[in-house]
Amino acid sequence: MKAKEFLQNHRMGFETIVLEDEIDQYIDEMKKGLCGQPSSLLMLPSYIALKDDVQRKKPVLCVDAGGTNLRITVAQFDAEGHFCTGEVFRYIMPGVERELSAQEFFDTLAGLIFPLTSITKDIVISFAYRARTLPNIDSEIVDITKEVKVRGAEGKLLGKEICASLAALGAQDCSVIVLNDSVATALAGKAEKLVEGYGSFTGTILGTGSNSCYMESIGNIKKMNGHDAEGVTVVNAEAGSYNKVPRSDIDIAFDNSLQNPGVGVFEKMTSGGYLGSLCGFTLRVASAEGVFQKSFDAQLDTMQVNEFLTDRAGFIAEYFTDESDAGEAYEILLNLTKRAGRLLALQMAAMAVKACKANHRVCMTIEGTTYEKMFGLKHEALITLLPFLQGREIEADVISVDMAVLKGCAIAGLSR
């Protein structure tokens, strides 16, 4: 059996992901989430009012709590509106190196933030995990997944807990607001392109995890009863949890082999935190079905897959010394990467189509190491996304913004 036949038998070919066939179901799931109906998409309003300008020369403490890494800095906009930061401190996210209790997690995070509270006690945290944003712009944690292991955080209010831990360290009267990293990314895009006439903005993260947000009319968010129906806010789709995407039997078996089966279904097919493991799982199935002459039973990570696809080097190249086996493995792995690219295009397209738009131009900010570095993924996403949106009469520009999440945190903290 060859790789092509194997992929066809399991319905894993990247060509099976067709945006025209999938977009209506995705948007229907978005609408259900906005109305508070059962949906795999939480559709969480950010409660952030989008203003045309930000406060100048006022410091704000910005925290990028990502899927694996943590960045902390003090930032401000100067008199001309340029984004400025002090030293950016980089750490491994608490809970990556060992499992923590919820209190240990909050105390450790607060301990890393605390030294900068001598400069400002206005704190904005971008949180890359599922959490429900509250009207006071705190967030109730739904779960902490990816590579971070924390016990008992579900239901806790992140901002409130961090404030309590900071107070215990001696930093009284801190103000903490919390937003999702994709929301921060969209805000950074809005700041970067504020005067360029875009009718709407979206933000997407594809790194260790996967998520998107977009601008929505408050009147369409039925679960925001009691709030002014006028205006626009950013909605965090929690897109990594979308579960209506076509999955193969291998995708389902891989999901069932993990710690949280059924959670983050879309993310497990696209993001850097899972893509390498999925590739390894798929190669082991292919090996069992006779695709390779040499049996394959190894575990893989995303960096190893990228190294093989980019340079035909690294662990996978050393494992498959037979040229035929290496070629079959390459075809399977490139296919899974291209499929991830098409799925990303679906996610981003849904945000652009659903977004509240003042005109046909949409600025789509995206960041994340998987998007930027994974061989073939970015190209496949863009050649799928842009023609589709053009066919819907949406003129989209896909951009990256330097220090997007930190810049978005600053904008959120200084435009209130």
pLDDT of residue 52: 55
**Domains of the chain, first to last:** 47-182+406-414 (3.30.420.40)
Q: Which of 104, 76, 154 is nearest to 407 (CA)?
A: 76
Q: Which of 63-67, 184-188, 387-391 has the highest mean pLDDT?
A: 387-391
Strand order across the beta sheet in which 232-236 lies: 44-49, 232-236, 210-217, 200-206, 361-367, 395-399
Return the structure tokens found at 228: 């002014």
Mean pLDDT for 211-220 is 92
Using CB atoms within 10 A of its CB, is residue 393 exposed (0-12), middle (13-18) or buried (19+)?
Answer: exposed
Distance, CA of 108 to CA of 392 (rounded, Å): 47
pLDDT of residue 280: 98
**What is the value of pTM for the model shown?**
0.84
Min mean pLDDT across 91-105, 126-140, 203-217, 384-398 is at 126-140
Distance, CA of 263 to CA of 148 (rounded, Å): 15
pLDDT of residue 62: 97
Over the chain, what is the mean pLDDT? 93
Percent of the chain with pLDDT over 70: 97
pLDDT of residue 20: 98
Backbone dihedral region of 286: left (phi > 0), alpha (psi from -120 to 50 degrees) or beta? alpha
Distance, CA of 330 to CA of 333 (rounded, Å): 5
Helix (H, G, I), strand (E, B) or coil at 282: helix
Segment 152-201, tens digit of pLDDT: 999 999 999 999 999 999 999 999 999 988 888 888 887 777 667 899 99
pLDDT of residue 145: 74
The amino acid occupying position 110 is A
- DSSP conformation letters of 68-92: SEEEEEEEEE-TT--EEESPPEEEE
Q: Would you say 245 and 16 are in contact if contact means Cβ atoms under 8 Å apart?
A: no
Segment 265-293, tens digit of pLDDT: 999 999 999 999 999 999 999 999 999 99
